A = this chain, B = another copy of it.
Amino acid sequence: MTSAARPLLLSNVRLPDGSPVSVPVVNGRIEAPGPNVAPPPGAAIEDGGGALLLPGFVEGHTHLDKSHWGRAWYRNEVGPNLVDRIENERAWRKAAGHDAGAQSLALARAFLAAGTTRLRSHVDIDTDAGLHYLEGVLETRHALRDVLDMQIVAFPQSGMLIRPGTEDLLGSALAAGADVLGALDPALIDGDPVGSLNATFALAKRYGKPIDIHLHEPGDIGAFTLKLLLDRVEATGMQGQVVVSHAFCLGALPEPQALLERIARLDVALLTSAPPSRPVPPLKRCREMGITIFGGNDGIRDTWTPYGVPDMLERAMLIGLRYDLRRDDDLAIAFDCVSAAAARGCGFADYGLHAGARADLVLVDAETIAHAVVARPRRKLVVSNGHVVARDGALTDLA
């Protein structure tokens, strides 16, 4: 891996609107794209063969540290409840000596090969593992620092208040390099919505970090917790710095309008993996109200779920299916969830295909964005931070 990318001209590609362009890249940044652009001095030239040009994909919510990606099949015999899954996982990982460093690296590289150049991963912090999994994922981030823009969320998967010592560990995780403070079901896991949220916001303020909370709580109790959370966003001035992940409750309330208006006003973003078996926040309505709502895979091939692939086009397809998006203009919304909206929701800077943006580029053989989402074709070329990191689905030696 090199830290400085050689200049590049990506020629003979099509923008999503169909117009042919070439894209010059210097110092890892896009220079003015256009139909007839001279190669920058010393540039390598990549002929795109008329392929569709997309911005690098953004994974808004995954759990790199949990995955068994590339390992022997994990036989899932877990009970049906959230608590069963939490207990099973913590015990299994401890007993099996699960290597969060090696596994997060394997999965992150697979994401990169499939065109994801920015990624937010939650990482378990608990009183059994301490910061062990975080250390592994920090190593992965360091190893891929030139080619993958990674945010780490310090996530209390086993609860915070109910496991004394976790709060201090979360603080240590933020001090050690985690970018975002995570949280989990303040009422139904922590058992004390006010106390749990107060502790979370205090910790975030102390370390000057944004928040990304897992809120699985359904219907009325989810709405109750969400109101408490919004109160604290307002009281602490953390507008624009909080993501609510999952937010199933917003898909189940008969009248979520007042809550949605407040979410919009406080610039709280929503993350959905668009699970087919759960209520989900109303995608189009949120967008119309100005709420940033974006997509993520959640866990991939771990003790929680056997499903998932590190491919944001497949996640966009699943978002499209969940929200019954069939028209081409609607499928562009599904793609936005795993690209620009996710970059905005997570706060990844300089995102897009405009001059000045970080040169994160994906080429696919597809006629349109809608076609790319439903067909999920092999990635012909992936450029990240100006580096050619993958060709035809396989990583180059720059990744």
Contacts and interface: CB of A to CB of B under 8 A. Distances in A.
B276 A306 contact: no
A184 to B, nearest CB: 19
Contacts of A321: 275-277, 307, 318
A367 B77 contact: no
Interface in A366-398: 366-368, 370-371, 374
B306 A78 contact: no
A306 B331 contact: yes
Interface in A300-337: 301, 304-308, 317-318, 320-324, 326-329, 331
Contact of A326 (B306, B323, B329): B306
A331 B75 CA distance: 11
Contacts of A77: 327-329
Contact of A370 (B73, B78, B276, B320): B73
Classify chain A's interface size.
35 or more
Interface in A115-151: none
A366 B306 CA distance: 13
Interface string A267-289: 00000001111100000000000
A2 interface: no
Query: Copy number of this protein in the oligomer?
Result: 2
Given A307-B317, A367-B72, A368-B73, A326 B275 contact: no
A81 interface: no
A324 B277 contact: yes
Contact of A328 (B76, B275, B305, B329): B76
Contacts of A331: 306
Contacts of A326: 76, 78, 304-307
Contact of A301 (B72, B305, B374): B374
Contacts of A323: 277
A308 B374 CA distance: 7
B307 A370 contact: no
Contacts of A327: 76-78
A276 B277 CA distance: 7
A75 B329 CA distance: 9
Contacts of A308: 374
B322 A276 contact: yes
A329 B73 CA distance: 14
A367 B367 CA distance: 36
A308 B320 CA distance: 12
Nearest to A78: B327
Given A276-B321, A306-B374, 20 more contacts: A73-B366, A75-B328, A75-B370, A76-B328, A77-B327, A77-B328, A78-B326, A274-B276, A276-B276, A277-B323, A277-B324, A301-B374, A304-B326, A305-B326, A306-B326, A306-B331, A307-B317, A307-B320, A307-B326, A308-B374
Interface of A: 72-73, 75-78, 274-278, 301, 304-308, 317-318, 320-324, 326-329, 331, 366-368, 370-371, 374
Q: Which 7 A-B pairs have the closest CB atoms?
A: A276-B276, A277-B324, A73-B367, A276-B322, A276-B321, A73-B371, A306-B374
25 contacts: A72-B367, A73-B366, A73-B370, A73-B371, A75-B368, A75-B370, A76-B326, A76-B370, A77-B328, A275-B324, A276-B318, A276-B321, A276-B322, A276-B324, A277-B322, A277-B324, A304-B326, A306-B328, A306-B370, A306-B371, A307-B317, A307-B321, A307-B326, A307-B374, A318-B321
